Amino acid sequence: MENQEYSVGLDIGTTKIVAIVGRRNAHGKIEVLGVGKAKSLGVHKGIVNNISQTINSIKAAVAEAQSSAGVPIRKVTVGIAGKHIRSLQHSDYIMRENPDKFITDDDIEALKDQVKKLVMLPGEEIIHVLPQEYKVDSEGEIQEPVGMHGKRLEANFHVVVGQMGSIRNIARCVREAGLEMEALTLEPLASSEAVLTKEEKEAGVAIVDIGGGTTDIAIFKDNIIRHTCVIPYGGGIITEDIKEGCSIIEKHAEQLKVKFGSAVPELEKDSTFVTIPGLHGRPDKEISLKTLAQIVNARVEEILEMVNTELKAYGAFEQKKKLIAGIVLTGGGSNLKHLRQLANYTTGFDSRIGFANEYIANDKNQYLKGPEYATSIGLLMESLKIRDKKQFAIEEEQPTQEKPHAESAAISVEASTIVQQTPVQEQEIVSEAQDSKKAAKLTFGQSLMEKVKKFFEEVE
């Protein structure tokens, strides 16, 4: 099987690293070929803090995915999160040289390139430039300007920014694990691809992805990304609170949280206890499930209040910006019992748990149903999109390659003889044209990867 037939999403999380290999079937759904999972040992709150451990964890996850899929893995689409991520709104415009010609993708890219020149804080780099709404000659609320005529092209952008050091650390880990980074994607955007419907994005929805080290938020309205942020708290801090509050080891605290943890203490009985085995001959310890729920509730309420603050920052409680579809909870932390009820009460919005298997064709055993796989499946979907775009670009170029041959038949014998004498030069010209066209169509994530690669080459 050729590498271009399948794609790979790599989720470098705080608690686990997941690699998913998949491809599109004839019906457009995703067929998962293999999954690999390894414990994440070198990542804290979404940021790499131990290079060698992270490399080993990536290698272990990728080796398992390769083994189960039966294919070699070379290129991966990687997710990025962490407390260093921030977003901002920005408006910009360009004046087109020839308004008689209609607006093309090249004009859109020129406008995006202008936004990428924004001066950021020291050490920061733009990760995503996401257009929201366009204006053509002062005519606003345009979502797709391609094909229209106009002199002035303007747009509102959602710009996602991150620390260049963190991006380079991720790039280095992926590179030293023997892989090539195809693209870098903000994790809440990847999760939203996997669990949100188009109707929800249209009506207004907030995805809240509760991971091990961070809680990622993305807000959509009118099918446009409106707000993104990363809260530096996740399921790991709840485990830490249980460990401290009950004076038990981390392994037992995690098991308690997963099996018996509840976000609403009032729904737990006072008379229900769970026994934790003592260490090295010490007596067993009994813990009340109500006490456990109180510990969990205190931290979950804190996280949900931070979510509420972000919803208010966007303006979700205003009538015009109201989130009709409410909140979608996903990520491993959303498995917590009674979390949905607490989210409804705290935020005032209806919520549901977002499962990531809606787009998966062959998940018969429901292995990937858990919300903890939302980000990795979203990254696989993003990787497949990139592959589809490349395939489309190649197909678009094929007629232009055939055109010279068709014309040469109509040209005089002398001219055709000249063309035949220099087939190597002709191939070089065509390949140069293809290269320049491909370079122009690079996404920003890919161009950022090129910068990172160049940086490492210079260092070496």
Per-domain boundaries in the chain: 85-161, 188-354
Fold (topology level) of 188-354: Nucleotidyltransferase; domain 5 (3.30.420)
Burial string for 64-102 (b: 16+ CB within 10 Å, else e) reads bbbeebebebebbbbbbbbbbbbbeeeebebebeeeeee
Instruction: Give the CATH number of domain 85-161.
Output: 3.30.1490.110
- In this prediction, residue 451 carries a pLDDT of 63
- In this prediction, residue 417 carries a pLDDT of 35
pLDDT digits (tens, 9 = 90+) for 53-100: 999 999 999 999 999 999 999 999 999 988 889 999 999 999 999 888
- The residue type of 9 is G
- In this prediction, residue 269 carries a pLDDT of 86
Among 240, 210, 226, CA closest to 372: 210
pTM for the full predicted model: 0.82
d(CA 219, CA 205) in angstroms, rounded, equals 6
pLDDT digits (tens, 9 = 90+) for 162-203: 999 999 999 999 999 999 999 999 999 999 999 999 999 999
d(CA 220, CA 328) in angstroms, rounded, equals 11
- In this prediction, residue 418 carries a pLDDT of 33
- In this prediction, residue 278 carries a pLDDT of 81
- In this prediction, residue 400 carries a pLDDT of 53
Q: Which residues of the chain have pLDDT under 70?
A: 1-4, 363-365, 398-460
